[in-house]
Amino acid sequence: MKILILQDHLRSGGTERQSVLLANACTAAGHPTTLLTFRPGGPLAATVAAGVNRRALQPFDLGLDWFAPRLHATVAAEKPDVILCMGRMANCAAGDLQRAFPRTPVVATMRTGKTLPYRFRRSLALVPRIVANSREARTTLVDHYRIVWEKVRVIHNSLVFPAAAAPARGTELRAQLGATPATTVLLCVAMFRPEKNQRELIEIAAGLDPALDWQLWLAGDGPARADCARTARALGCADRVKFLGFHRDPSSFYVAADLAVHASRSEALSNFLIEAQAHGLPAVAYAAQGITECFVPGQTGWAIARDDRAGFRTALQNLVTATPQARADRAAAARTFARETFDPRRQVEAYLELFRELIARFAP
Give the per-residue pLDDT at 193: 93
Same fold, 3-158+343-362 and 167-341: yes
Per-residue model confidence as pLDDT tens digits over 264-280: 998 889 999 999 999 99
- DSSP letter for 117, please: P
Dump strand ranges (E) for 183-279: 184-189, 214-219, 241-245, 259-262
Confidence grade of residue 166 (pLDDT, cut at 50, 70, 90):
low
Q: Which fold has domain 167-341?
A: Rossmann fold (3.40.50)
> What superfamily does domain 3-158+343-362 belong to in CATH?
Glycogen Phosphorylase B; (3.40.50.2000)
pLDDT tens sequence across 75-88: 999 999 999 999 99
Residue 168 has pLDDT above 70, yes or no: no
Q: Which pLDDT belongs to residue 165?
A: 59
The Cα diameter of the chain in Å comes to: 70
Residue 191's pLDDT band (cuts 50, 70, 90): very high
Q: Packing angle between helix 271-278 and helix 14-28, nearest 10 degrees?
A: 70
Q: Work out the percent of the chain whose per-residue pLDDT is above 70.
A: 98
Burial of residue 4 (CB within 10 Å: 0-12, 13-18, 19+) is buried
d(CA 159, CA 44): 16
pLDDT in tens, 298-334: 999 999 999 999 999 999 999 999 998 999 999 999 9
Reference 145, options 166, 164, 130, 167; nearest CA is 130
User: What is the average pLDDT score of the chain?
Assistant: 95
Spans of all domains in the chain: 3-158+343-362, 167-341
pLDDT score, position 170 = 82
pLDDT digits (tens, 9 = 90+) for 93-120: 999 999 999 999 999 999 988 899 999 9
Distance CA(239)–CA(35), nearest Å, equals 42
For the cut 70, the answer to whether the pLDDT of residue 285 exceeds it is yes
- pLDDT band of residue 164 (cuts 50, 70, 90) is low
- Higher pLDDT: 209 or 99? It is 99
